[in-house]
Amino acid sequence: MKIIADANMPFAEELFQQFGDVHKLDGRSMTADDVKDADILLVRSVTTVNSSLLAANSKLKFVGTATIGTDHIDQDFLKSKNIEFSNAPGCNAIAVGEYAFTTMLELAHKYGEVLKDKTVGIVGAGNTGSALEKCLKAYGVNTLLCDPIKAEQGEPRKFVSLEAVIEGADVISLHVPLTKEGEHKTFHLLDEAKLKQLKHNAWLLNCCRGEVIDNQALTRVKKYREDIKLVLDVWEGEPYPIEALIPTVDFATPHIAGYSVEGKARGTFMLYEKVCQLLSKPVKTSISQLLPEFFISKVQLDANLTQLDLLRLMRLVYDISDDDRSFRQLDFSNKEFDVMRKAHKHRRECSALTISSVEESQNWLFELGFSREQA
């Protein structure tokens, strides 16, 4: 059995070599010829899987994307060819939630503000939006949730409109899929008109898909709205962001909000489980067996945490300034956006860090995601 996997997919060999030969290829440049004799195709968000890519393949049984997003997959085409498909819903939700939360602490620190005084609007209350909501709730930050689809489905959480978020939130974090059709389409959800309406001093974070914000409009609006603070992990037109936009962004990264070791492992593992099911094979390993030890075994806390102390603790698991600095030095015309992603040393999630000596009043740290020392 021939298995073709994106070269940027950790743990693919470990998990899939029991089914056949694993060939790793660059995801963005994969061609129809490359995949013509694959039985299993494992991709990430940079490979468009459609009739052109699969034109020369008549034996493919399974396509898996080790990502949450599916906007790069023509699922109707796969169905028409009876090719099984799976993505990895929720695999990197914790990573994205923690990325957004720690970046809010960074912004608060940079501008001398208090995160707990802010209201955070979360647009898209699925896996990643809810992971962020969990961190914010644990820390005691007020949130507004906007998700008209979940609201229509009768979910018990309270939802508000996008307009109410724009009007009422000091911070807006985007967590929607990229959709181009339908009543709730998200392509350019934040267009020029909406960007102009952002509150004075608003913080805007995008860690879902670049095209959810009209990046040309954002570049124009930022020229006269310096008060808006931006965190962009995703960019319209990746891997070629609008370069004039970058200096106006407070924290800029190359689509790595979901890049935790745990998130990557979960993504590949979920596809492995799916293939086991498809081939009626037993699941022989577990995610925890794939994860390396964290370099700090535990942290002992001796006092109540200030906002800056919490930021310092979060920086032990992920210090965004390293990625931000590297991003600003990239030569985008030379495809270095992808080079940086590929070379990224995946960070850990808060759960990798065990905290000891915690008073009861600090139990919120475990709700946020850190691990508790076992008695």
Ligand X SMILES: O=C(O)[C@H](O)[C@H](O)COP(=O)(O)O
Ligand Y SMILES: NC(=O)c1ccc[n+]([C@@H]2O[C@H](COP(=O)([O-])OP(=O)(O)OC[C@H]3O[C@@H](n4cnc5c(N)ncnc54)[C@H](O)[C@@H]3O)[C@@H](O)[C@H]2O)c1
What residues act catalytically? 209, 238, 255
Q: Minimum distance between the CB of residue 207 and ligand Y, rounded to whole angstroms?
A: 4
Contact flag: residue 173 with ligand X (CB under 6 A): no
Alpha helices in 46-157 (DSSP H): 75-80, 93-110, 127-139, 148-152
Q: Are 36 and 15 in contact (CB under 8 A)?
A: no
Could you tell me the end-to-end alpha-carbon distance of the chain, in angstroms, rounded to an integer?
A: 47
Q: Which C-beta is closer to ligand Y: that of 57 or that of 186?
A: 186
Contact flag: residue 63 with ligand X (CB under 6 A): no
Residue of 107, 86, 152, 102 lying closest to 125 (CA atoms):
152
- DSSP assignment of 109-134: HHTT--GGGSEEEEE--SHHHHHHHH
User: Which does residue 207 touch among ligand Y, ligand X, none (CB within 5 to 8 A, set by kind)?
Assistant: ligand Y
User: Which does residue 190 touch among ligand X, ligand Y, none (CB within 5 to 8 A, set by kind)?
Assistant: none
User: Which does residue 260 touch among ligand Y, ligand X, none (CB within 5 to 8 A, set by kind)?
Assistant: none
Tokens of residue 227, six digits: 């008060």
Q: For the window 27-66, what string marks contact with ligand Y as x by the rule CB under 6 A?
A: ----------------------------------------
Is 258 known to sit in a ligand binding site?
yes
Q: For the window 23-62, what string marks contact with ligand X as x by the rule CB under 6 A?
A: ---------------------xxx----------------
Burial state string for 131-158 with b = 16 or more CB within 10 A and e = fewer than 16:
bbbbbbebbebebbbbbeebbeeeeeee
Beta partners for residue 371, in sequence order: 354
d(CA 215, CA 280): 46
Residues that bind ligand X (CB under 6 A): 8, 44-46, 67-69, 92, 255, 258
Give the annotated binding-site residues for NAD(+): 147, 233, 258
Give the annotated binding-site residues: 45, 67, 147, 233, 258-259
